[in-house]
Amino acid sequence: MYTGFLHLHSLLRWVLLIFLLIMIYRAFTGRSSGRAFSDQDRKLSLFTMISAHLQLVLGFAMYFMNDTISMALSDMAATMKDGVLRFLAVEHVLTMVIGIVLITIGHIKAKKASTDHAKFTAILVFYLIGLILIVSRIPWPFMEVGEGRGWL
Ligand code: HEM
């Protein structure tokens, strides 16, 4: 089951990154052209948030099933000195949770905003910061922590 979760978590990264890029592009162009915030914008923003929440649920399920992480959490002093263990047990989780919270805030702010300009601005700012945080803490194959992992 763990392997299935890991494959899904790995693939879903691309779904989330693509949704984030599409929404950031739409928010940027929508804001500068002054067009109306459409139902398609609302739906795409919702799908972006749902993919982020799915990653959160899958990630936490794996976090508590993973023996290396349990071991890392039992000796935090040693974990903080080991770059790979620190990345997996601390940096990945904390940064992703912050990124997902920002995406959620952006979606809610856009929903509540009274003007189309304010809706696009909320999505542009919160989704962009979320995207930067998320990209910075993915265990990419070219990183030490990503050794042996694939691009998919
Ligand atoms: C936007 C959110 C996230 C993205 C894009 C993301 C992406 C990834 C990717 C690409 C991997 C490597 C997969 C592979 O080796 O094939 C990974 C591993 C992992 N992620 Fe996430 N993740 C996210 C959020 C989370 C969260 C919130 C947790 C919660 C604790 C989490 C826990 C884990 C764990 C435990 C692993 C390591 C699995 C292993 O090496 O066995 N992830 N993540």
Measure 63 CA to ligand 1 centroid, in angstroms: 8
Amino acid identity for residue 134 in this structure: I
Parse the chain into domains and list their residue ranges.
2-146
Average pLDDT over residues 108-133: 98
Q: What is the pLDDT of residue 135?
A: 98
Residues in CB range of 106: below 8 A, 6 or more apart: 45, 122, 123, 125, 126, 127, 130
Does 52 contact ligand 1 (Cβ within 6 A)? yes
Contact yes or no for 127/103 (Cβ under 8 A): yes
Q: Name the band, by pLDDT with cuts 50, 70 and 90, for residue 145.
A: very high
Place of tokens 């047990």: 89
Q: Which of 84, 92, 138, 147 to mutate to test the pocket of ligand 1 (most atoms within 8 A of CB)?
A: 92
| pLDDT single digits (tens) 41-77 | 999 999 999 999 999 999 999 999 999 999 999 999 9
Q: Name the band, by pLDDT with cuts 50, 70 and 90, for residue 36.
A: very high
Contact yes or no for 95/47 (Cβ under 8 A): no
Does 53 contact ligand 1 (Cβ within 6 A)? no
Does 130 contact ligand 1 (Cβ within 6 A)? no
Distance CA 75, CA 73 (A): 5
Q: How many CB atoms lie within 10 A of CB 97?
A: 14
| pLDDT single digits (tens) 76-101 | 999 999 999 999 999 999 999 999 99
Question: How many residues appear in the chain?
Answer: 152
Q: Name the band, by pLDDT with cuts 50, 70 and 90, for residue 111.
A: very high
Does 13 contact ligand 1 (Cβ within 6 A)? yes
